[in-house]
Structure 1
Amino acid sequence: MIKKQNIAGLEVFSCLPDTPTSRPNLLFIHGAFAGAWMWTETYMPYFAAAGYPCHALSLRGHGDSDGHDRINWLSVADYVDDVRMVIEALAIDPVLLGHSMGGFVVQKYLEHHAAPAVALLCSVPPQGLIAAQFHLLLQKPQLYLEINRILAGNYTETDTLKEALFAGEVDEKMLETWLGRMQNESQRAIWDMSMFNLPNLYCMQKAPMLVVGAEMDALVPAFLAQSTAQTYGEPCHILRGMGHAITHEKDWTKGAALILNWLETLKP
């Protein structure tokens, strides 16, 4: 069962195993334009059923968290503080799993805080967004323009969303629901991820790391996932036939199973 609470103005969902467990807590961190809702229908029940207590927060200005009125002024550092506050309030030491922008937030979190392990899922690379932006502009200029319209808070359509996030078959009702939940993103955070606040690799506290990319990802291409893995000296796992929204692709369980297998290798 998914339970929702408010922690210091932040929306937090939790999904716990049916029986007590010694396995580590998981904290899921969403990407741009999204919220904690992106984890509640697939990954959280899946990992809770496998014995892992699961939590997901909506960063400030996202979902039902406070801060929508000032979202364009929110920084990646603000998002890192959100993660820290939720961890302290829940009194947990969780494995961090970040998708897209959430993966970038995880990398910035490691500059000041330790984590037992982290998973970067279709994550913005430590070198920032510039390469991804130019790749999208050259490969799909119309999609690039549409994403910038979303960033400005303008409405889009399901066809654009499908092209941006999915590679396989997509349920139209799910697409419409996803579209209805999407929102604009902080302009400041986008600039932080582009060039102004990139991860300081020399300050980051090392942790066991899983790097996952998607073969058909239009937003964070597979070669950038490989670059992230190379930067951290880790293998890169590419999910074949999938787009950016690995949590909601038709074969989403393949990615979840990959993460679960990795979690099982971690030392207790």
Structure 2
Amino acid sequence: MFLGSAAAPLELEVISRLPAQAGDKPPLLFVHGAFAGAWCWEEHFLDFFAGLGYPSYALSLRGHAGSAGRDRLHWNRLADYVTDVAEVAVGLGERTILIGHSMGGMVVQKYLERTPAPAAVLMCSVPPSGLMWSSLQLMWRDPMLWMEMGVITHAGPQYGSRSLARRALFSPDAPDAVVDRLMNRAQEESSRVLADLTWADLPAVTLVRRTPLLVLGAEHDALVPPSEVLETARRLGAECEIVPRVAHVMMFEPGWDRVARRVAGWLARQGH
């Protein structure tokens, strides 16, 4: 499915999975992280939540995967991605619940500045304070990984290796085939957006806090460590949980079902 409008003429890829029978559960909109696309949710999460009765949608932000705008990817700003989410969310209706991963978590936070939602989930999200502190922590903990991540950030994921991807993104339990599947689909990311994520376009916390939030982190996350996740939850006044035995791409690797069940349980407790 592709969505477009006169105000935002780019066609956006939206992958959907609908429940077998119509019900009254709200739609879920999944927002991917940097270097990725809607495909990262198609692996497991869309079918899982559709099976629970939630109409489930994942968009590819402009310049990503099947969405238009790849030729202008490096001109994108974080605000452009927020506009993409807003366009899709409006089409799904005011009951839409947003779920963002990594960079997508920051996109969701910036969206919530504009428009409160019934609920939102941030998974291994960029903190509201930006990536500066996380980057400094990584440089201190693992300077080689920090340097390698700098290379792929500026030159593209094609300069990465399976070893790098495993250390940065996956838990020890992830098979090589799963690591390779993600690496084969990873793409470049806008350097302007990465600057926005670091310091240039951070969210107004008091506005984000209007929405009930669940903040999830991963025990083995090398990029957004549990300490940063806990601080994100504290600043946003959100519920928080660190999921054991998973890493940064928690919706893609073995253990994804434990993550999904935690999200589903929280949504049920919120009355959704």
TM-score, normalising length from structure 2? 0.93
* CA deviation vs aligned residue, 1:228-264 (integer Å, no higher than 9, x gap): 1100122320011211010122111111110010011
Question: How far apart are the structure 1 equivalents of 2:53 and 2:250?
Answer: 21
CA shift for structure 1 position 87: 1.7
* Residue of structure 2 equivalent to 1:150: 152
Corresponding position: 1:58 with 2:50: no
**C-alpha displacement of 1:171:** 2.1
Verify the 8 A CA contact 1:24 1:94 in the aligned structure 2. yes
For the residue of structure 2 that corresponds to 1:52, the secondary structure is coil
- Percent identity between the aligned chains? 42
Partner of 1:211: 215
Alignment-derived partner of residue 250 in structure 1? 254
Match among 128, 131, 143 for residue 130 of structure 2: 128
Alignment of 1:179-194 (within 5 A): 179-194=183-198
Task: Give 3-state SS (helix, strand or coil) of 2:238's partner.
Answer: coil
Letter of the aligned partner of 1:6 in structure 2? Answer: F
Q: Structure 1 counterpart of 2:246, which letter?
A: M
Deviations along 1:172-206, one digit per CA (max 9) or x if unpaired, are 22221210100111111111111111001234461
Hey, what does 1:89 align to over in structure 2? 91
What SS is found at the alignment partner of 2:98?
A: strand
Q: Which residue of 2 aligns with 1:227?
A: 231
Runs (4+) of structure 1 moved beyond 6 Å?
A: none
What is the Cα deviation at residue 21 of structure 1?
A: 1.0
Equivalent residues of 1:29, 1:99 under 8 A apart: yes
Alpha-carbon contact 1:58-1:64 (below 8 Å) kept: yes
Residues 260, 194 of structure 1: alpha-carbon distance in 2 compared, 3 angstrom cutoff: same
Identify the range of structure 1 (229-238 vs 25-34) with the bigger mean alpha-carbon deviation: 229-238
Per the TM alignment, residue 92 of structure 1 is displaced from its structure 2 partner at its CA by 5.6
Which amino acid in the other structure matches residue 257 of structure 1? R
Instruction: Determine helix, strand or coil for the equivalent of 1:199.
Output: coil
- Aligned residue pairs, count: 264
5 Å-filtered alignment, 1:4-23, equals: 5-8=1-4, 9-23=11-25
Contact 1:10 1:58 in 2 (8 A): yes
**Paired residues of 1:73 and 1:186 also in contact (CA < 8 A):** yes
Of the structure 1 ranges 105-114 and 144-153, higher mean CA displacement relative to structure 2 is found in 144-153
Is residue 169 of structure 2 the alignment partner of residue 161 of structure 1? no
Q: 1:200 aligns with which of 204, 213, 216?
A: 204
Counterpart-to-counterpart distance in 1, 2:207 and 2:247 = 32
**How far 1:224 sits from its partner (Å)?**
0.5
Q: Where does residue 81 of structure 2 map in the other structure? A: 79
Which residue does the alignment assign to 1:44?
46
Task: Tell whether the 8 Å contact from 2:209 to 2:236 is kept in structure 1 after alignment.
Answer: no
List per-residue Cα deviations over 1:98-149 (Å, max 9, x = no partner). 0001010111001111211000110001010001111111112222222222
* Contact 2:41-2:252 within 8 A present in 1 as well: no
With 171-180 and 30-39 compared, the bigger mean Cα shift is at 171-180
Q: Which residue of 2 aligns with 1:237?
A: 241
Of 33, 36, 39, the match for 2:35: 33
In 2, Cα distance between equivalents of 1:92 and 1:232: 22
Structure 1 CA distance for aligned equivalents of residues 138 and 128 of structure 2: 18
**What SS does the corresponding residue of 1:102 show, helix, strand or coil?**
helix
How far did residue 49 of structure 1 move?
Answer: 0.6
